[in-house]
Each structure stands twice: as structure tokens, then as C-alpha cells.
Structure 1
Amino acid sequence: MATSTQFIDHLTEQLALGDRFTVRKMFGEYALYLDGKVVALACDNSLFVKPSEAGTRLAPTLPRRPPYPGAKAYPVADELLDCPQALQELLVQTALLMPAPKPRKPAAARRPRGKGPPAR
């Protein structure tokens, strides 16, 4: 089951982080970004926070499970959805611990997908 746009809208409203918080749809689910860093995933209408020291320190009792088959277990923060301050603090602290995103190559330097070097 894919995550609903209503779930994403509710989450965005609860967090109230403005332009700092962005969402990108991926394979029917969503990657959630704070200050350009992936901090969580929304899968099957559940919020999976990236594992980090922040989660261990701020929400040690959150249940853990994989967001999709084959993934490692992530803390599931569904119980914090109605506690905007706690959820916001968890995501802000998680973002502080995540590495900066790698700079993207300019569009002209990228090869089209599926187009490798010509066969010899």
C-alpha cells in the first residue's frame, strides 16, 4: 500500500518547518528532507526516521522495523505524529547528524540513463 498524500500533508502541517522541510515521491512512497538531508521515509502511511544517535537519545522506546523488504530496521515514529514538538525535535536533531548531500553534477555532464559507452 502506498503512502497517501493526506498522510504527507498531515505530517508537513504538524512539523511546521516551512521551506526547510521537503518531500520527494519515490516508488509510491516518500523521502523526507530537512535542510536538504534525508531524515525519514514515509512508507505505508508510517514514518520511519533514519537511525541515528538522535533517535536513540530522544526516542529510545520507538518500535523498529524495516520500511520496505530488504531494508534495515528504522525507528517508527507514528506515535509522535500527534506530538509536533517531539517529532520536530527528533527530525531536526537527526538532520544535524546526517552528512551533507553530495553535490550534483551539472546536467550537461550527466550521461543519460541506460546509455553506456558504445559497444566495440
Structure 2
Amino acid sequence: MTSSEDYVTYVMDQARGPWALRQRKMFGDFMVYVNDRPILLLCDDQTFVKIVPQLDGLMKDAACAAPYAGAKKHYILDVDDAEHVRRVLSVLEPITPLPKARKRRT
């Protein structure tokens, strides 16, 4: 099951802040990019963020699960609390690297 367009729109609205947001369909679900950094993974109408030490305080009560079979566990982000979403994004945006450019096949 994939995330619904309504859920993706809702997450994008909740994440609005002083950064550029875009979403891209991938892996059968969606990735949300914050200033071109892949930060939010949307799978089955749930939002996942990578487990990093910098989020220990903010996400201490969050549930953890694998977003898809074979994936590492991630925090499940409560997107109903827009202020919390923005705090998490403000922590993750500076520490998440930009994706490396892929070489094109010729």
C-alpha cells in the first residue's frame, strides 16, 4: 500500500517553514526533501525519520519501525504536531548530506 496524495499534501503543509520543500515518488512511496536533502520518508501513510543521536531528546517517546521490509528502523514522526515536525526538520536539515550526483549511463 502506498501513501495517499492527501496524506502527502498534509505532511507537506505541516512541514512548511523557512526551507524549500519538495516531494518525489520513489520506492513506491514518497520522499520529502528539505533544501534538497532527503529527510522524510512517507510509507503507507506514516512518516519516518532516520534515527540519529541529535534527535534523541526530541523523539524519545516516538515509536520505531522499519518503513519497508529490509529497512533499518526509523522513528515514526507524529505529523499532527506541526511545531514538533518543524523542530525535527530544523535538527535534521543541517546534518543530512545532499545526495551525491549519479553518473549517467551512455
| Letter aligned with residue 68 of structure 1 | Y
The higher relative CO (CA closer than 8 Å, separation ≥ 6) is in 2
Structure 2 gaps, min length 5: none
Aligned partner of 1:60 in structure 2 is 60
Aligned-residue sequence identity (percent) comes to 28
Alignment of 1:32-111 (within 5 A): 32-77=32-77, 80-105=78-103, 110-111=104-105
Higher helix share: 1
- The whole-number CA distance in structure 2 between the counterparts of 1:54 and 1:84 is 19
The answer to whether the 8 A contact 1:52-1:97 is kept is no
Greater Rg over alpha carbons, structure: 1
**Partner SS for 1:76:** strand
Cα gap change, 1:28/1:100 in structure 2, threshold over 3 Å: closer, same or farther? closer
> Per-residue deviation at 1:104?
4.8
The answer to whether the 8 A contact 1:2-1:28 is kept is yes
Aligned residues: 106
Segments of 4+ moved more than 6 angstroms: none
Cα gap change, 1:49/1:12 in structure 2, threshold over 3 Å: closer, same or farther? same
> Per-residue deviation at 1:53?
2.3
TM-score by length of 2: 0.88
CA deviation map 1:11-33 (0-9, x unaligned): 11112237611111013200111
TM-score by length of 1: 0.79
**Partner SS for 1:58:** coil
**Partner SS for 2:57:** helix
Higher strand share: 2
